[in-house]
Amino acid sequence: MVLKKTTKDKIIDYISYFFIYSFLGWVIETIYAIIINGYFVKRGFLYGPICPIYGFGAVLLIMSTQKIYKKPFTKFLIATIAFTVFEYIVSFVLEMLFGLRWWDYSNDFLNIQGRVSLVYSIFWGIIGLFLLEKLHPFIQDLIQKINSKSANRAQAIIITILLIVIIVDTVFSSIKYYN
């Protein structure tokens, strides 16, 4: 018997996905930087080992493609467009707020103001398709197993602690970059 999830349960799941994908994004960024630079480079805006752009992007993609699980090419197109627009907006907002650029694709073919480029847009589409087709079903099952073995109160406490940590990290990181 499958129990219907409450709105609170769904919110907790999405917050869990946000933190998982934010951490995995940080791992991808870190590995990429090590390959390119040959040494560890701190990646992302925050002090901690997460890149929220990946978490927000993944959750938005998961939510926006729930009805099209049987159409991989459509998911690829949605991921490509959504991640490209999202990356552009985040780049613009971060630069307006802090006067810094965390990435610059100015030397890439078919870029828009160095904020996005065709190569990375295609890459984001591939990553998005992989996320939706392979990674997210695995993560979703893992979260469901964890949820079935732990009390709702424990989950809520863990999520609350993680949210407090990311809020504090965001405040201190913003102060660092704003000055």
Q: What is the mean pLDDT of each run of 10 residues along the chain (179 residues)?
A: 70 92 94 91 87 92 80 89 93 89 90 94 94 94 81 79 94 82
The label of the residue with tokens 């049987």 reads 70
Residue 175: inside a domain: no
Q: pTM for this structure?
A: 0.86
Per-residue pLDDT, 1:
43
Structural domain count of the chain = 1
pLDDT, position 21? 96
The pLDDT value given to residue 7 = 82
SS3 of residue 111 by DSSP: strand
Answer yes or no: is 115 within a domain: yes
Per the domain annotation, does 24 fall within a domain? yes
Residue with tokens 């907790």: 12
* In-domain check, residue 176: no
Give me the pLDDT at residue 117, please. 96
Residue 2 maps to a domain: no
Residue 134 lies in domain: 7-170
Q: Which pLDDT score is estimated for 8? A: 79
Q: What is the pLDDT of residue 131?
A: 94
Residue 178 lies in a domain: no
In a domain, 29, yes or no: yes
Task: Specify if 32 maps to a domain.
Answer: yes
